Each structure stands twice: as structure tokens, then as C-alpha cells.
Chains A and B, each alone.
Chain A
Amino acid sequence: MPINEQELSERCRRQDNGARKVLYESYAGQMLAICMRYVANREVAEDLLHDGFLKIFTSFDKFTYRGAGSLKAWMSRIMVNLSIEYLRKNDAAGQFVELDELPDTIPDAATEEEVGHVPQEVLMKFIEELPAGYRTVFNLYTFEDKPHKEIAAMLGINEKSSASQLFRAKAVLAKRIKDYMRNTDR
């Protein structure tokens, strides 16, 4: 169902509760998915979703419509920031580890076609099952398109560490995808 982003954001800015409901119903699922990718915990993700929407609803005066997709992008940024904040607060046992060396083994490459055959839910599971540090770097790099320099600044690690964690994340994912394809192959 096409969403009239501009009208919706205008009405949400005016605190129109009807528009807010439409906004929520249109985007809550995707926003929850974003939170899940970062925190890998459904309960926590749902709480972040709640807090995130509260923040979204009350910060519409800070949003400017800049074309199709800008509304979703703005909302996603809020969710990502909340998730990162949560992860940093709950940085148990140094999930954002400093890794200096590259791994010994070089994983097999996974093709785009193979990725296309893995169901979305399974792919999500693979990401969620990544170790916390790898997962965050992976998410920020892949979905938020952040360069390592920025990721490093956000997480309080160094750039090299960010690059290694991404490398490892990719290795793990590639392996899991390959294994999945092998196991479900006819």
C-alpha cells in the first residue's frame, strides 16, 4: 500500500493521532526488524521500538521531507541510534572487542544467487546469531552504509578493528549461507 510520506509527516508534525497511527502501522514492522538486527533480542527490540516511535512522534519538528524514502530513512536512523545506545550501555564483557589480526582461514565466497535463496527469516537469524561486536559493525557497514572511520568513532574502537570485525562477520555469514544451501539442496 503506497504511503503518502509527505502528507503523513505533515500531519504527524501537527500531532494528528490518526496520522500517527498510520505511520506506526506502515513502518513498525520494518523498524522492529532493524532493532532486532542490532540487539538480537525480541523483548529488548520491542522496547526499543516503543521508545523509538515515542521519540519519532515527538521530534517531527526536526524532520524535513526530502523526497521518497526520506521519512523511512529518518525513522531508521532514530532506531539505529537507540539500538547502538542500548548496546553501548549493555556492553557486557566487551562485545566491541579490539581485533587486530585478520583471521587465518579465508572463507568461501557466497554468491548473490545463493543469498537470494535463503529465506529472509533465516538470514535474519544468521545475523542475529553473530557475536555482538561483529553484528554491530556488520549492520552499520552494510545497512547504514557507514565507513569504518565513523563506525570506529561510534563504537569507541579503532578503524582497523572495525575492518577486521566486518571481515569476520562476512566470513561467518558466508559460511552459514553456504552450509544452509548445501543442507537444503535437492
Chain B
Amino acid sequence: MSKRDDDILLEGIRKRLENYSEPVPDRVWHSLEKELSPRRVPFRRSLRRWAAVAAAFAGVIALGWWLSATFTGRVSPSLMAGADAPPVQSAAVHERSPLAAEAQDAPQGEALLAEAGTAPAARLSRKHSSAPVAAAAKAVAAPLPQEEAALPEEEAGNTRQEEPGDTVESVSLVQKRGGTRGGKAWRAAAMAEHRPKGQKKWSMGVSYLNTASVRNDGLSGFHTLKEGQGNIQVGKLPLPNFSTALPTEDKPMQDALLNNVGQAPPETRYEHKMPVSTGISFRYAFNEHFAIETGLTYTMLSSELESSSSAGVYVEEYKLHYIGIPVKGNWIFLDTKFLSLYLSAGFALEKSVAGKYERVYLSGDGDNAAWNETVKPMQWSLLGSVGVQFNATERFGIYVEPGVAHYFDDGSGVQTIRTEKPTNFNLQLGLRWSY
């Protein structure tokens, strides 16, 4: 063969077969799919997980702080030993500072632990008639310096008179019933020490909110995350609205639909990802039972959609950033040294301040689209929750608020987790400082 013939033959064969395709059995993909999932968590989702981890970590730190405060009491000279000095000393150096408060707490903390060991019957038998809790609270509302002056005196006096056991009892009684053996001032002062949240007017908190994500893996037809205009169908994604949707990607979608006539129906999968929500809050307590709370929240909503057919495949992604202001009323129905329970109800107003929408055609004819978009209307929501707060110190606590939120349709045509599931359960974790 001449060289030219060689080349022609090989070239001919190459051209013939370079795009040749063999039929592939399904099992290969199934096996691949199994090996590829569990999906590696994309960075976004990792961020969410990290936020949850950080909140949990903060909780652990708070818990550790509380535990160390408690166990420090165990190490220091204890009430149980009958020594009078420690309470007096700690009272003498008493100031309204966290450090001293902690020191103050320590012996009492230890005492409480001891009390926990005592039979409940013993506790009950020591019941004294007592001024109501509210009265004591009012007494404490008096300016601080008086309390300060009263405290060392009264407490010193009381401690010397009583046995350790009695002191233990008194402390617990003061907490639970407001009764005491000592003077009113002492009682009031003790209340101030051990009933911080009701008496401390101002609280500040940071929080992280967790809601479930929503996912649908088998929806028929083409869908979009952003409707041009028109009615929202709660719980369903609408078909693209050709008359009003943006010009650049309209026609390809129409083409895709037309090309698709008579073929297998297109399929859509979408997921509204777990929203990330954090915030700071400020709470003002009118009295020990009622408080009003407001603050600032940041929420990120993100959703993904994929529609595929024999004509083409496109994916859409949406990320929205909201800043919001919640306004809530809290009814605190239990407030003790270690635990607070409250009910919370209110509303929130949120506005999208930044957002990005993207549609990408992975195959098929279509112009990709991407633009920054904020949702114009405000998002209103109603909130309700139950709060459980564990107090590490009298000023600091960690709280958990499982709750319910209902989001009103903002009429924007944007499909998010809030349009899909307007009423949902959420869990808020946070830290709260009180002054």
C-alpha cells in the first residue's frame, strides 16, 4: 500500500467511528449512582452544618461554664460543713458583677445540689408562711444600693443563726415560695440573686434558627422557581408563564416544550434547602412574667430545581438574603435559678436585601440567565414558640425555642420554602445575657 492509501484508509475508519456509540446497559449507571452517593455535601450545606455545629458548641461551652460554677462550689469550704465564714465573706465582697455573682452562686449551687439530695418531704415540712413572690419582687425593684447595704448585714445575721441544713432549706424556699426565716430584705436580696431573669430588665441574645428543607424528586412537566406574574399556587410549582417571563430564555423553553410534544414527559426535581437564620435579640421584662422582645434577623433561603426532557436539561438556582425584625411578647411562667420556661408569640417583618437567580442549560438550546434579584414585597410572618432556658449563671443562659411560624404569601411569584410550606415548625437555639 502506498502511503497515501494508508492515510486514506485509516482516516476513513477514524471518521467513521470517532463518534460511534454503543448501547449501554442500565446496570452501569445504577452501580455508579450507588457509589457516588451519599452526595458529598456542597459547600453551602456545609456552611449550614457549621452554623449548627457552632451553635451547639456554644451551648456546650455554656453548659461547661455552668458545670464548672457548680463544681467549684463543691470544692470550696461548704455550707454543709457548718462553716459560717464563706457566705459572709462572699457577701462582703459582693458586687453586682458576674464574677462575684458566680462566687455567690457557688455555695448556694452546692447547697442546692445538697438540697436535691434531701427528701422532698423534709423540704415541705419546713414550709413557712410567706409573702407572695410578687411582693418580694417589688421589694427588689428598689434601687440597688439599699440592697447592697442590707445584704451583708442580714445575710450574715441569718447565716450565723441558722444551721447549715436550715440555710439550705431557706434558700430553696426562697426560690420556690418566697418564704424565709430571715428578714424581708434578706429574702428580697436572695431573690434578686436567684431570680435573675424576671428582675433583670434587659436581656440580649444571639440565636440560630433551624427549619427542615423541602424536596420533591418526581414532579412531572417543566417548572420554574420564578413565575413571571400570576397566581401563586401554594404547594405546587407553576409552569413558566410565557407571556410575561423574561425575553431571553422564553423562546428556548417554548421550543423545548414544543420539541417535547409526543415524547416522554419532562420531569422536574427541586429542593428548597434548609434555611439558615441567625439573629440578635433584645428583651425587656416589664415584670417577672411578661417581657417584650425584638431584634434583628438574617435569613438565607436557597432553592434548586432541575427539569429534564429529551429536548434538554436546565437547572435553576435561587439564593435570597433577608433581613428581618421580629416583635414578640413573652409570657414567662417559670423562672428559677437554673431554668426558665416561657411562651412566646409575635410577628416578624422581613425584607429581601440581596438575591441571585440563575438558570443554566446543561444541554439543549437555551440561553443561560442570571441576574441579581431582590424580592420587592415585604414578608410577613406570625411566630409562636415555647422557650426553655437553662441558666448557666444568673446573667447568662442558653435557650431552646421550638416553635411554629406561618409565612404570608408576599405576592412576588418567587417560589421558596415559604411558599411551599407556609406553616412550618422550627427550632431556635440561642444564648441570652441579662442585665
Contacts and interface: CB of A to CB of B under 8 A. Distances in A.
B39 A15 contact: yes
Nearest to A26: B363
A120 interface: yes
A115 B362 contact: no
Contact of A15 (B1, B6, B9, B40): B40
Contacts of B371: none
B39 A2 contact: no
Interface stretch (A60-68, A85-93, A102-110, A152-160): A102-110
A46 B32 CA distance: 12
A98 B8 CA distance: 26
A29 B362 contact: no
A109 B20 contact: no
A33 B28 contact: no
A22 B362 contact: yes
Residue of B19, B27, B269 with highest tally of chain A CB at under 10 A: B19
B16 A120 contact: yes
A53 B32 contact: yes
B24 A112 contact: no
Contact of A17 (B1, B37, B312): B37
Contact of B21 (A1, A16, A29, A142): A29
Interface residues of A, number: 52
Residue of B27, B36, B40 with highest tally of chain A CB at under 10 A: B36
Given A1-B312, A115-B13, A120-B16, A18 B306 contact: yes
Interface string A11-23: 1001111111110
A170 B315 CA distance: 47
A170 B364 CA distance: 39
A87 to B, nearest CB: 18
Given A7-B362, A28-B24, A30-B19, 11 more contacts: A7-B361, A7-B368, A22-B308, A22-B362, A29-B21, A32-B22, A32-B24, A33-B17, A46-B27, A50-B31, A115-B9
Interface in A41-56: 45-46, 49-50, 53-54
Contacts of B315: 11, 16, 18-19
Contact of B1 (A14, A109, A123): A109
Interface in B32-79: 32, 35-37, 39-40, 42
Residue of B9, B22, B35, B365 with highest tally of chain A CB at under 10 A: B22
Q: Which 5 A-B pairs have the closest CB atoms?
A: A29-B21, A115-B12, A109-B5, A112-B12, A32-B22
A183 interface: no
Interface in B167-191: none
Interface of B: 1-2, 5-6, 8-14, 16-25, 27-29, 31-32, 35-37, 39-40, 42, 269, 306, 308, 310-313, 315, 360-365, 368
Contacts of B360: 4, 7, 11
A8 B16 CA distance: 27
B25 A46 contact: yes
Contacts of A20: 36
B14 to A, nearest CB: 5
Contacts of A170: 1, 6, 9-10
Nearest to B366: A4
Interface of A: 1-4, 7-8, 11, 14-22, 24, 26, 28-30, 32-33, 36-37, 45-46, 49-50, 53-54, 57, 106-107, 109-112, 115-116, 118, 120, 123-124, 127, 141-143, 170-171, 173-174
16 contacts: A2-B363, A8-B363, A19-B362, A22-B308, A24-B29, A30-B20, A33-B20, A37-B17, A46-B25, A109-B2, A111-B12, A112-B8, A115-B16, A124-B22, A142-B10, A143-B14
Contacts of A24: 29, 32
Contact of A36 (B12, B22, B29, B36): B22
Contacts of A106: 1
Contacts of A143: 14, 17-18
Contacts of B24: 28-29, 32, 46, 49
Contacts of A45: 22
B32 A50 contact: yes
Contact of B13 (A11, A29, A30, A123): A123
B252 to A, nearest CB: 11
A178 B15 CA distance: 18
Contact of A54 (B21, B22, B23, B32): B32
Contacts of A17: 36-37, 39
B363 A33 contact: no
A112 B22 contact: no
Contact of B9 (A30, A32, A110, A120): A110
Contact of A50 (B14, B19, B28, B362): B28
B249 to A, nearest CB: 13
Nearest to B18: A143
Contacts of B31: 50
Contacts of B35: 54
Contacts of A50: 28, 31-32
Contacts of A142: 10, 13-14
Nearest to B41: A15
B305 to A, nearest CB: 10
